[in-house]
Structure 1
Amino acid sequence: MSEFSQLVFSGMQPTGNLHLGNYLGALQKFVALQDNYDCIYCVVDMHSITAQLVHDDLADQTRAIAAAYLACGLDPKKNIIFNQSRVPQHAELAWIFNCVARIGWMNRMTQFKDKAGKDRENASLGLLAYPSLMASDILVYRATHVPVGDDQKQHLELARDIAQKFNNDFSERIADLGYGVEMEMGEEHVSGFFPLTEPLIEGPAPRVMSLRDGSKKMSKSDPSDLSRINLSDDADAIARKIRKAKTDPDPLPGDLDGLAGRPEAENLVGIYAALAGSTRQEVIDAFAGQQFSVFKPALADLAVEKLAPISAEMRRITADPGFVDGVLRDGGERAGARAEATMKKVREIIGFLTA
């Protein structure tokens, strides 16, 4: 009986353009993790059909997310990079987890409530069962860690509940087959087949807001393209959007308290700090008393320096769909081998006759 080796899993849906918030909140962290963990990064195309079944360009959007992974610095030889639908074991384990999870658990998911809105009876069953598929994404590789934002913490908690219930329901069979693995639960050491996956928090994620409204998160669904910096934007577009970003008439304050009640100013200071790898206080110290006519050009130069090479690399990679497909195909084969190793044991634990 051994312990779980540390493995990170994460993924992004192929819906709309990735933007600065996605880069600072997730992609930048993915790149940092690849040096210290065994990492699997997925384009979760099966998730993308839970709220909208028909997509005219799902294949191209899938390639675009993969290109963004690569352009930001993820190494396809060091990591496994693939699209979810290539590995049918995700769906197979999701069905088993649908039978493990309880309807009450799903009904409590706040994202389902938000996305279904008032017309819950008309929402797809897939949208309700979305967290079960997310749990299978993680646990089909028996991943120990997932980098998560605030909006996904509840789903990870559900994945842990599903793993624990499976471990408890099949505890005798897991022990008889010798498939138990040691793990820690608080101060206790227990045995189970699936790990209780932990959230991986690499420092505070910057909260990147809309460039047109500092009270709203930067979003790829915002109808105004000026509200966000897309990772596909070239240098001119990045600089133009920073220049047009909404601000107020007051100069930058001398301390952080002076940003209170100034959401647009706070947002731009936060973006500068995140891109520069510094603190907001250090940014305030450097620009205290300066007008935005001075600060914005400095921010534009920094954003272009950091993001323009990524957007150029994305365009280069996207122009070669055969290369992207090759990366995803190779990653899918490697991911599939791992997933099948898990599912072979799961089928045996449950008692499915497969011989």
Structure 2
Amino acid sequence: MANAQERVFSGVQPTGNLHLGNYLGAIKRFVELQDRFDCLYCVVDLHAITVWQDPAELKRSIREVAAAFLAAGVDGEKHIVFNQSQVPQHAELAWVFNCVARLGWLNRMTQFKEKAGKDRENASVGLYAYPNLMAADILAYRATHVPVGEDQKQHLELARDIAQKFNNDFAASIAEHGLAEKFFPLPEPLIAGPATRVMSLRDGSKKMSKSEPSDASRINLTDDADQIAQKIRKAKTDPLPLPEAVEGLKDRPEADNLVGIYAALADSDPAGVLAEHGGSQFSQFKQALVDLTVAKLSPITAEMKRLVADPGHIDRTLGRGAERAEAIASETMGDVKDILGFVRRT
């Protein structure tokens, strides 16, 4: 059973086209962590609007992400599944953290530079301050662990810095109110196993992404068996057979990516995959990968479609989750207001 003191928080943005990278890098991990921790899994719609979203499409995407959580095996009764905008403490605590975090810290965030591109002056303030909201997402629940991919490690380090600075800046007030010296925990990263960073099927140097123009670059969670097979068979490879050992994957990004995907889907590792398939031609290995991917994803895809067809059920699940999440977050926020010296409403 989960230790009551250990709590996981993680979220997925509802920006459409959930793909294999989202599943292997996040959602599959969510399911695995349920037996070890108390878990909160959030559809982070406030993060989504850091860039413009079509309102109708956003609503559809929120429900689709929630459906993916549930279809993959997240237990919405035992754990908490909700969408961020239904719990106002996320935004409220983010403002406090805007006043704790330093500009220099945010200026070092590489993801803002990547997402804003050359037209940085035209990026939203929300995109710039995104890491402070992410810290609030985690610390509103005093989460102790966060499953993260390589691209989010820097943001988690910032959340730890914010927690530490808050604890230090208000140490006297925290003690005065009889609260734990480390009021905010310093959340630990949970780094996933194989395929933590799933790459494009068309270019092994680029991350698999919903924003990539070519649909052939990714396997969507809504793809049927024929679409999955076609995309894997057409995936970019090199002319050499699979190596016998992991060292042979060096400087072969496409081979490394396909082996990593197989390993993650099979709950194995690259060495185990190569022990079975090393020396094979890619045509043979790709067929094995097709069979495995279809076997793993098809039941999830079918259940997602069933759930999306009943939006009322999804909305009720999110609503119940938000009530449970807010009960935790409001307690944290109440303590934060006392620590800061705000006068609470009576």
TM-score w.r.t. structure 2 length? 0.94
1:229 matches 2:240? no
Counterpart of 1:289 (choices 250, 260, 279) is: 279
Task: Please give the alpha-carbon distance, in whole angstroms, between the structure 1 residues aligned to 2:249 and 2:195.
Answer: 19
Task: Please give the alpha-carbon distance, in whole angstroms, between the structure 2 residues aligned to 1:309 and 1:156.
Answer: 33
1:99 positional shift: 1.1
Task: Please give the alpha-carbon distance, in whole angstroms, between the structure 1 residues aligned to 2:36 and 2:145.
Answer: 12
Task: Please give the alpha-carbon distance, in whole angstroms, between the structure 2 residues aligned to 1:205 and 1:263.
Answer: 12
Question: Aligned with 1:208: secondary structure?
Answer: coil
- What letter corresponds to residue 312 of structure 1 in structure 2? A
Task: Please give the alpha-carbon distance, in whole angstroms, between the structure 2 residues aligned to 1:90 and 1:206.
Answer: 27
Residue 301 of structure 2 aligns with which residue? 311
1:66 matches 2:56? no
Residue 125 of structure 1 aligns with which residue? 125
Residue 246 of structure 2 aligns with which residue? 256
CA contact (8 A) 1:89 1:336 kept: yes
Residue 99 of structure 1 aligns with which residue? 99
- What letter corresponds to residue 64 of structure 2 in structure 1? A
Residue 165 of structure 2 aligns with which residue? 165
Counterpart of 1:214 (choices 198, 204, 208) is: 204
Residue 187 of structure 1 aligns with which residue? none
1:330 positional shift: 0.4
CA contact (8 A) 2:18 2:221 kept: yes
RMSD (Å) for aligned C-alpha atoms = 1.7
Task: Please give the alpha-carbon distance, in whole angstroms, between the structure 2 residues aligned to 1:248 and 1:39.
Answer: 41
CA contact (8 A) 2:150 2:196 kept: no
Question: Aligned with 2:291: secondary structure?
Answer: helix
Q: 1:192 to 1:282 in 2, by over 3 A?
A: closer
Task: Please give the alpha-carbon distance, in whole angstroms, between the structure 2 residues aligned to 1:118 and 1:46.
Answer: 24
Question: Aligned with 2:244: secondary structure?
Answer: coil
Task: Please give the alpha-carbon distance, in whole angstroms, between the structure 1 residues aligned to 2:231 and 2:222.
Answer: 13
Residue 11 of structure 2 aligns with which residue? 11
Q: 1:295 to 1:348 in 2, by over 3 A?
A: same
CA contact (8 A) 1:234 1:312 kept: no
1:100 positional shift: 1.2
Task: Please give the alpha-carbon distance, in whole angstroms, between the structure 2 residues aligned to 1:253 and 1:93.
Answer: 50
Residue 24 of structure 2 aligns with which residue? 24
1:169 positional shift: 1.7
Q: 1:254 to 1:4 in 2, by over 3 A?
A: closer
Question: Aligned with 2:287: secondary structure?
Answer: helix
CA contact (8 A) 1:31 1:74 kept: yes
Q: Deviations over 1:28-64 (max 9, x none)?
A: 1110111110100000000011122554411110001
Q: 1:254 to 1:333 in 2, by over 3 A?
A: same
1:204 positional shift: 4.8
CA contact (8 A) 1:16 1:221 kept: no
Task: Please give the alpha-carbon distance, in whole angstroms, between the structure 2 residues aligned to 1:39 and 1:243.
Answer: 37
- What letter corresponds to residue 345 of structure 1 in structure 2? D
1:290 positional shift: 2.5
Counterpart of 1:275 (choices 265, 275, 281) is: 265
* Structure 1: tracts of 5 or more residues without a match: 181-190
CA contact (8 A) 2:41 2:82 kept: yes
1:321 matches 2:311? yes
Task: Please give the alpha-carbon distance, in whole angstroms, between the structure 2 residues aligned to 1:4 and 1:74.
Answer: 18
Question: Aligned with 2:146: secondary structure?
Answer: strand
1:69 positional shift: 0.4
Q: 1:170 to 1:211 in 2, by over 3 A?
A: same
Report how many residues are paired.
Answer: 343
Q: 1:84 to 1:349 in 2, by over 3 A?
A: same
